[in-house]
Amino acid sequence: MADFDLIIRGGMVHDGLGGAPRIVDIAVKDGRIAAMGAVSGSATEVISAAGLIVTPGFVDVHTHYDGQATWENRLAPSSGHGVTSVVMGNCGVGFAPCKPEQRDILVKVMEGVEDVPEVVMTEGLPWNWETFPQYLDALDARSFDVDVAAQLPHSALRVFVMGDRAAGHEPPSADDLSQMRRLTAEAIRAGALGVSTSRNMLHRTKAGELAPSLFSEEDELAALAEGLKDAGRGVFQIIPAPMGDARSEFALMRRLAERSGRPLSYTLIQMPAGDPDAWRQSLEALSAAAKDGLQMRAQVAPRPVGMFYGLDLSFHPFAFHPSYKKIAHLPRTERVARMQDPHFRAQLLSEQPEDTNTVNVKTVKSFQYAYVWGEDANYEPELADRIDQRAKAAGLSVEEYAYDMLLANDGKAIFYQPGANYRERNLDAVREMLGHPQSVVGLADGGAHYGMICDASFPTYFLARWARDASDAQRIALPQAIAALTSEPATLAGLNDRGRLEVGLKADINVIDLDRLKVHVPSVVYDLPAGGRRMRQLADGYVATIVSGKVTYRNGEHTGELPGRLIRGPQETPLVAA
């Protein structure tokens, strides 16, 4: 009988804490790291890691797999990018708690806020829960290719307590607030890692109605904070108003952190418009809060926060033109054929977008600021290549130029618009945000935005762009970059049994060929329930990904292993016998 289940031999091992790497072997048994160093003995499987780096599995604290985790076992795209633990239920949206008559409201909110098609949810969600503890029980019965943790979403909680009054944005009564506080504590005690909310006015249903939680006053947010305090654990996750005053938004978050006595994490991005110094003001306030002993962290995206356009995706410049709406249901090849007809082209170009959701209209009109992608994923494009600039150079209107570009490659062309974090068309602000001691890499949004955003590839991009390819002045040292993907988000979420490579800890491990690490251009696949569409973005360089001692991926291919389970509540560091 073998001494160990797995031995990884001769890799350059990074501990996940930022320490200097060293060449050692790692032995795994019963899902835990059993030995590190010059390991003797046999193993059921041996992975040669000579010339490769060995890291803890990545921890992603900002995902939206709330629905996908109920109908799928593989939480792609995240699991294809070295992620071994995900935290979902962010931004105040999700599917629990929920009474049967409230399901339609939550589906419409998720469809609008996170771009998950209604038919996918209608077909895929089993709805074998009502309360949040029952939702956790439903997840507990499932297995995955990563470990899964959940947060209590504010919009779902508000609808559960207030019913139609919540969707109508009525203020809560004293009894409503009391119930929200009690149910928050109940969810945390049942195993939720925290509670989440959003103040982002772009969070709307597909029809344009604001998400239920968006008009919540401070007393309602305080009820959530007090629920965390009652439970004695959990994290408060919040999206502040992106275009709000940075100082007043931070002051609100600080009061919530003080009230709960618990960690608070929030979204921080450089907005493409508005106050250019808002993100710096937020960082200054964050430093002051840390000095005063508050546990507040800013979730920062390591590249531009942008979106994709294309005929197979949720948005393109003509998606809401009346003539296009009439053919939108057709297969792409038939749509392309119709759009190649000169008469149809003339009619479409004469129209303007029409939709009840003003955000949708604004989104399609912003196509002029997008860039066409070819064979490489170019997240830092040059201004001269932007659609409006190319149209001008070609002597065409943006609409005429966009029409022809959209039909390229049989209508498979995709376009990328870098929105936030690219205001000066560089990533200087991103580097400064990433360098703040109270920031954490986040905002990957895996499981959401199936037809417009594909940011679950953040971990791969982050290591390649900032730890390998950056200039000397901007490079993040590899040990620190790995810590940013492992121990730092794990600590924020309270998952102290992972994110580090130490004897006794959970054997979540990546074996990576850093030189080959690369993200590919996303492609469109139709593999969701009811044939729903999503983007898939593959990566090179992951030799092996290991969850609880089981190899889940080899060279990007799934092995069939599903060792991932629900994480109930914060996890303590295991005691290791001397």
The Cα–Cα gap between 214 and 482 comes to 35
Report the predicted TM-score, pTM, of the whole model to 2 decimal places. Answer: 0.96
Least confident among 217-226, 310-319, 355-364: 355-364
For the purposes of burial, counting CB atoms within 10 Å of the CB of 329, is it exposed (0-12), middle (13-18) or buried (19 or more)? exposed
Average pLDDT over residues 473-477: 97
The Cα–Cα gap between 175 and 171 comes to 11
| Contacts of 207 by beta carbon, 8 Å cutoff, 6+ apart | 108, 112, 356, 357
The Cα–Cα gap between 66 and 566 comes to 12
Task: State yes or no: pLDDT of 577 exceeds 60.
Answer: no
Least confident among 241-250, 275-284, 319-328: 241-250
Task: State yes or no: pLDDT of 443 exceeds 60.
Answer: yes
Query: What integer pLDDT is reported at residue 208 of this predicted model?
Result: 64
* Residue 262's pLDDT band (cuts 50, 70, 90): very high
**What does the DSSP 8-state code read for residue 446?**
B
369 neighbors 417 (Cβ within 8 angstroms): yes
Query: What integer pLDDT is reported at residue 575 of this predicted model?
Result: 73
Query: What integer pLDDT is reported at residue 200 of this predicted model?
Result: 75
The Cα–Cα gap between 319 and 448 comes to 20
- Number of H-type helices and E-type strands within the chain: 21, 25
Task: State yes or no: pLDDT of 538 exceeds 80.
Answer: yes
Cα distances (angstroms) measured from residue 22 to each of 12, 13, 78: 5, 5, 27
* Residue 110's pLDDT band (cuts 50, 70, 90): confident
Strands (E), 340-490: 371-372, 415-420, 439-441
- CB count within 10 Å of CB 399 equals 18
- CB count within 10 Å of CB 574 equals 14
Query: What integer pLDDT is reported at residue 201 of this predicted model?
Result: 61
Task: State yes or no: pLDDT of 432 exceeds 60.
Answer: yes
Least confident among 338-352, 459-473, 563-577: 563-577
- What's the gap between Cα 343 and its chain centre? 42
DSSP secondary structure string, 166-195? HHTTPPPPHHHHHHHHHHHHHHHHHT--EE
Average pLDDT over residues 55-82: 97
* Residue 206's pLDDT band (cuts 50, 70, 90): low
Two structure tokens written together for 145: 């290719």
Q: What percent of the chain has pLDDT over 90?
A: 89
- CB count within 10 Å of CB 555 equals 11
Task: State yes or no: pLDDT of 244 exceeds 90.
Answer: no
Average pLDDT over residues 326-337: 96
- CB count within 10 Å of CB 409 equals 10
What is the set of domains in the chain, with CATH numbers?
4-55+507-558 (2.30.40.10), 59-303+422-456 (3.20.20.140), 308-419 (no CATH)
Least confident among 194-203, 339-348, 458-467, 496-505: 194-203
Two structure tokens written together for 43: 């193993």
pLDDT, tens digit, 9 for 90 and up, residues 11-43: 999 999 999 999 999 999 999 999 999 999 999
Give phi and psi for 253, each to the nearest 5. -65, -35
Task: State yes or no: pLDDT of 578 exceeds 60.
Answer: no
DSSP secondary structure string, 141-169? T--BSSEEEE-EEHHHHHHHHHTHHHHTT
483 neighbors 17 (Cβ within 8 angstroms): yes
pLDDT, tens digit, 9 for 90 and up, residues 376-424: 999 999 999 999 999 999 999 999 999 999 998 899 999 999 999 999 9
147 neighbors 547 (Cβ within 8 angstroms): yes
Task: State yes or no: pLDDT of 304 exceeds 50.
Answer: yes
Query: What integer pLDDT is reported at residue 5 of this predicted model?
Result: 98
